[in-house]
Amino acid sequence: MEAETAISMKQMSWNLFLADGKTFSSPNHDDFFNIGRVIENCETTFWLDIENLSPEAGDFLEKSFSCHPLAIEDCHNFKVRPKVEKYPGHLFIVFRGVNYNAGEIETHMINLYFFLGHNYIITVHNKPLRAIRDTWKIVELNRDALKNNPGRVLYETLDHIVDNYFPLLEKMDARLTELETQIFYDFNQCTVEDIFGIKKEIMVLKRCVGPQMDLINSLMTMKWGFIREENMLYYRDVRDHVERIADHLDMYRDLTVSLLDFYMTQVSNRMNDVMKTLSIVATIMLPLSLLTGVFGMNFQKMPGLEEREGFWYLLVSMIVISAILVTYFKRKKWM
């Protein structure tokens, strides 16, 4: 247990931004416990961002900022659903976004945890997030965004997380368009596997976006006491973006269903073409097999069997019959 704690202490990093423009950061875990001295006599709003929250740091947040132990426990559970809960002295918010720092799998989801108080906001996450970096730049350029208004920082972060979905949706749209072309002109087994892969990604995003719509609505409609009324317009903008994402996902889901139906139709049509070709070949071969079977019977006396030109008569008859059948099939447009 001590080894695990030591590893978590080494992995943790943090940044502190004060509304008066001062910033503090350190890769040293021990420096984190000195934050209380920095903000003890601070009358301005501050933002504390923590990556890889350690158990000791969680205990420190509970004692120094009255963060509820149940909320601290959720910060170590990466599978918790998006939600908003009110505790004495602060709101606890769980939001989920696309992590572009996770490698090749772009639909890898990551949770971001918020502790929103009257004069502070604390963010916790287990991996680097572009949304945090982008929001940090905005706060550095516009200190008034944080001054006495931590709810504005919450909006900026949520807005950047939601906006990160759109590049993924654009790539998904391009992939669906490409698959649609493949089904029309050059489809194979890989095509249906790709469709199912995209459908799985869509379901992952749908399970994520749905609860976040309810979360934004809760932040807007309920009187939490930690978010200013003038900020509600900004949260409405985030809600509109989430609704657009949900609409796109519904459209893509319907498109994947249509592509799968069309794929099965194409497979059935190709099978029908194969069966038609085989049937035509079998129909042409049937009279030929009949002729060769008749003249191949084991009889001593048979008309034409002893004639010198008998073989050629039979061969010409087979060619003529085949030509007649082929001509008939082409007139019927079966070939």
Strand partners, 123: 49, 114
The CB density around residue 103, as the number of other CB atoms within 10 Å, is 8
pLDDT of 135-166, one tens digit each?
888 888 877 767 778 888 899 999 999 998 89
Q: Which residue has the tokens 């950047």?
A: 160
Q: What pLDDT is recorded for position 300?
A: 67
Q: Which of 51, 202, 219, 209 is nearest to 130 (CA)?
A: 51
Query: Which amino acid, residue 314?
Result: L
Helices (H) and strands (E) in the chain, counts: 10, 7
**Max intra-chain CA distance, the chain:** 124
Fold category of 1-146 in CATH: Beta Polymerase; domain 2 (3.30.460)
CB burial readout 120-141, b (16+ within 10 A) else e: bbbbbbbeebbbbebbbebbee
Strand partners, 253: none
Q: What pLDDT is recorded for position 189?
A: 67
Query: Is CATH 1.20.58 the classification given to domain 278-331?
Result: yes
Q: Which of the residues in the chain have pLDDT under 70?
A: 1-10, 21, 25-30, 37-38, 40-43, 99-107, 145, 187, 189-190, 297-300, 302, 304-306
Q: How far apart are CA 162 and CA 169, in angstroms?
A: 11
Q: What pLDDT is recorded for position 158?
A: 93
> Which residues of the chain are in CATH 3.30.460.20 domains?
1-146
Q: What pLDDT is recorded for position 85?
A: 92
Q: How far apart are CA 16 and CA 48, in angstroms?
A: 5
pLDDT of 57-115, one tens digit each?
889 899 888 899 999 999 988 888 899 999 998 999 999 888 655 444 456 788 999 99
The CB density around residue 89, as the number of other CB atoms within 10 Å, is 13
pTM value is: 0.75
Q: Which residue has the tokens 């730049």?
A: 137
Q: What pLDDT is recorded for position 2?
A: 38
Tokens matching residue 22: 């001062």
> Which residues of the chain are in CATH 1.20.58 domains?
278-331
Q: How far apart are CA 212 and CA 96, in angstroms?
A: 8
